[in-house]
Amino acid sequence: MQTDFLNTSIEFVKGVGPQRAAVLKSELGIYTVSDMLYHLPFRYIDRSKFYNINELNDDMPYVQLRGFVTLVKSFGDKRTSRLTAQFKDDTGTMDLVWFQGIKWLRDVVKAGTEYVVFGKPALFGKTFQIVHPEIETVEKFNSQPQGEFQAVYNTTEKCKSKGLDSKGILKIQRTILTNLPPALQETLPQHFVASMKLLPLRNAISNIHIPSDAALLNHARMRMKFEELFFLQLGILSDKAKRDEEHKGFNFSVIGNYFNGFYKGYLPFALTDAQKRVIKEIRQDCGTGKQMNRLLQGDVGSGKTIVALLSMLMALDNGFQSCLMAPTEILAQQHFNSITEMLKDFPVTVRLLTGSTKTKERREILEQLQAGTLHILIGTHALITNDVKFNKLGFVVIDEQHRFGVDQRAKLWMQGNIFPHVLVMTATPIPRTLAMTLYGDLEVSTINQLPPGRKPVKTIHQKEASRIKVFGFMRSEIAKGRQVYVVYPLIDESEKLDYANLMTGYDNIVRAFPLPNYRVSIVHGQLNAQAKDYEMNQFVKGVTQIMVATTVIEVGVNVPNASVMIIESAERFGLSQLHQLRGRVGRGADQSYCVLMTADKINPTAKHRIAAMVRSNDGFEISEMDLKLRGMGEIAGTQQSGNLQLKIADLTKDQQLLELARKTVIQILADDPLLARPEHYLFKKGIAKMRAPKIDYKKVG
């Protein structure tokens, strides 16, 4: 009976009808009564608060006004019509303007009548204007049942033209709520609702649309947020549980001579406690008989490579080959160099395969690989071409490419029907809330400690006016034998202006640092790979003292002698990018510096970013700050962002609730990983609903 009502087509709710129903479906994805109830308000207005016209300013969000319409004018023919009304209260006069729904409005808006008006004011010349305000007569306003808070809903122009503006939607909600049974079947486990003192569903739904008071509204919002996050986590983690059941993994049951021999005799330094802990986590995970999917995050320089190497030795102890994939040739080469260096007196065969490996060598590598005599293969994307076939691949390390999906990743290397273990490494710390959602299906290991003896990089903010001083500082560091990076923003490779800036900057530097005392390298995206490698190597070898570059040097290059990072137009970089760039220095024993050059005047958010960089060296702190400053969508980019179009919860603010939801879900899945129990049937429905395609409100306006 109750489910019948919830599943009723929205068309049959009083006051909707076929035409409006069609718009609700096509514009807002609302098909049923239940869809409508879950079309949650995105904000509330205080109904008791009226503004005066003389209080308005251009920055105000939505405001509510009361006054008389004194003059109504309509313009144009059918196609380009417009309706304006002069609106007046005791303090001033303003204009109301509509471009749509004119026919209907002509009957509603009358000179000499008192109205309540709601909308966002904007200054137009000397007069304030509200475009497409919501409007109703004071009489009607007063006749409606009213709480203090009135819900405001997302809607579209097309909806509005059918009378489905925010108030129109509220009216439908009101009708539905009057007909809603006094109790609704819980979507969440009853005992959680009780033990966590959540508002029961019926009560929450009712108060979210028509709040009785502020306290109940808060309660209702919390309950709906929790529900949303719960199903988000349940979706992610039940997929993972299912995968764990289905995907067998190789069982690394022994730790043998390769691991132990290297650990005891060849380790170049003592591991940090964090490194030890992470290796243990990997070891345990690979010994369960299930496939490991793990994200290893650790700030630049925290020592992820040795963790990867020891893991690969563990694979070897169990008779398996490994591979390590890096995003660029330079990085692959560096991994190859440091790993072969560490293994130079140790009987493990390691080779490098990239796009520029010569045919003969490539053939040799592929043969060794199939024969099983090659133990560790390092390379770029060249590793995932079709003819690269391993004899027995058991462990895959992916450096700095966490944006593959889990299945995508595993399939790249599937052998028969068993997936190799996958370790994804990143130096871009991911805020916890993101890690739990975007990467929620990965286990996460964190190296939260730098090797001993590192001096934190000193970060300084300098303005254009102090350029001479900065050049002087560069000279004094170079005189001590150090090297300097100067990085220019190049947000878009095709951006001509950015190149112009880079080249001008380069010219200025060459002029200020002339031969024969100074040599300057330059690297940017328009150089071919060979030229790039040449320039890079000149700097790595210390032939050049200054490297002028775009962000192509961002990821992974390691030049310990470089102690100064100058970032030009730093206000144009994102926080995590700034942090990555700063990570290029501070790799040797010397004190290192990062100088953030900005224009003399910068906007407030840029100021926050710069201040955060000067204050903190901690990648995790920086990433949390980044999330707060940029908001969710931008960080996630387009990648899997479907997951993140939440209706009510906000991952930048609701971290605690998310943690709680995740904990709850983990408890449930521990008992019933496949949600097979009858009482969990409803959960599956909740997950499906959570995954239904969402409307992108930014697009529909």
Q: Give the binding site for ligand ADP (CB under 6 A).
A: 269, 271-272, 275, 298, 300-306, 427, 451
Of the pair 139, 273, the CB lying nearest ligand ADP is at 273
Instruction: Find all residues with CB under 8 Å of 671, minimum gap 6, and list them.
Output: none
**Neighbour count for residue 513 (Cβ, 10 Å):** 18
Side chain identity at 659, as an amino acid letter? E
Minimum separation from the CB atom of position 306 to ligand ADP (A): 5
Minimum separation from the CB atom of position 402 to ligand ADP (A): 14
Of the pair 450, 520, the CB lying nearest ligand ADP is at 450
Instruction: Find all residues with CB under 8 Å of 188, minimum gap 6, and list them.
Output: 198, 201, 226, 227, 230
User: Phi and psi at residue 456, in whole multiples of 5°?
Assistant: -60, 145
* Number of residues in the chain: 701
Of the pair 150, 426, the CB lying nearest ligand ADP is at 426
Name the H helices within 184-328: 190-195, 201-209, 214-246, 257-265, 273-286, 304-317
Instruction: Find all residues with CB under 8 Å of 519, minimum gap 6, and list them.
Output: 538, 543, 544, 545, 546
Minimum separation from the CB atom of position 585 to ligand ADP (A): 13
Minimum separation from the CB atom of position 270 to ligand ADP (A): 6
Minimum separation from the CB atom of position 302 to ligand ADP (A): 4
Of the pair 232, 278, the CB lying nearest ligand ADP is at 278
Of the pair 36, 450, the CB lying nearest ligand ADP is at 450
Of the pair 129, 305, the CB lying nearest ligand ADP is at 305
Of the pair 271, 527, the CB lying nearest ligand ADP is at 271
Minimum separation from the CB atom of position 118 to ligand ADP (A): 54
**Hunting for tokens 């993101």 — which residue is that?**
434
Minimum separation from the CB atom of position 436 to ligand ADP (A): 22
- Is the separation of the CB atoms in 71 and 103 below 8 Å? no
Minimum separation from the CB atom of position 591 to ligand ADP (A): 17
3-state secondary structure of 75: strand
Of the pair 169, 559, the CB lying nearest ligand ADP is at 559
- Is the separation of the CB atoms in 395 and 320 below 8 Å? yes
Minimum separation from the CB atom of position 161 to ligand ADP (A): 56
**Neighbour count for residue 612 (Cβ, 10 Å):** 20
Of the pair 224, 274, the CB lying nearest ligand ADP is at 274
- Is the separation of the CB atoms in 376 and 321 below 8 Å? yes
Side chain identity at 433, as an amino acid letter? T
**Neighbour count for residue 97 (Cβ, 10 Å):** 15
Q: How far apart are CA 443 and CA 240, in angstroms?
A: 10
- Is the separation of the CB atoms in 118 and 96 below 8 Å? no
Of the pair 133, 301, the CB lying nearest ligand ADP is at 301
Of the pair 238, 576, the CB lying nearest ligand ADP is at 576
Q: How far apart are CA 476 and CA 481, in angstroms?
A: 9
Of the pair 103, 276, the CB lying nearest ligand ADP is at 276
Q: How far apart are CA 216 and CA 579, in angstroms?
A: 43
Of the pair 129, 272, the CB lying nearest ligand ADP is at 272
- Is the separation of the CB atoms in 330 and 533 below 8 Å? yes
3-state secondary structure of 245: helix
User: Phi and psi at residue 320, in whole multiples of 5°?
Assistant: -115, 150
Q: How far apart are CA 685 and CA 178, in angstroms?
A: 25
Tokens of 516: 């024969």
Tokens of 176: 């539905």
Q: How far apart are CA 166 and CA 38, in angstroms?
A: 15
Of the pair 543, 589, the CB lying nearest ligand ADP is at 589
Minimum separation from the CB atom of position 426 to ligand ADP (A): 9
Q: How far apart are CA 418 and CA 411, in angstroms?
A: 10
- Is the separation of the CB atoms in 556 and 576 below 8 Å? no
Of the pair 291, 428, the CB lying nearest ligand ADP is at 428
Minimum separation from the CB atom of position 304 to ligand ADP (A): 3
- Closest C-alpha to 147, from 196, 90, 220: 220
Minimum separation from the CB atom of position 399 to ligand ADP (A): 8
**Hunting for tokens 């929790």 — which residue is that?**
226
**Hunting for tokens 């007046």 — which residue is that?**
88
Calculate the alpha carbon distances from 692 to 231, 646, 687 in Å.
12, 12, 9
User: In this structure, what DSSP letter does residue 12 have?
Assistant: G
Q: How far apart are CA 523 and CA 120, in angstroms?
A: 49
Minimum separation from the CB atom of position 420 to ligand ADP (A): 21
Minimum separation from the CB atom of position 397 to ligand ADP (A): 11
Minimum separation from the CB atom of position 451 to ligand ADP (A): 3
Strands (DSSP E) contained in 414-456 are: 421-426, 443-447
Of the pair 119, 301, the CB lying nearest ligand ADP is at 301
User: Phi and psi at residue 522, in whole multiples of 5°?
Assistant: -140, 135
Minimum separation from the CB atom of position 299 to ligand ADP (A): 7
Of the pair 451, 574, the CB lying nearest ligand ADP is at 451
Minimum separation from the CB atom of position 59 to ligand ADP (A): 44
Burial 567-594 (b: 16+ CB within 10 A, else e): bbbbbbbebbbbbbbbbbbbbbebebbb
3-state secondary structure of 83: strand
Determine the residue with CB nearest ligand ADP: 303
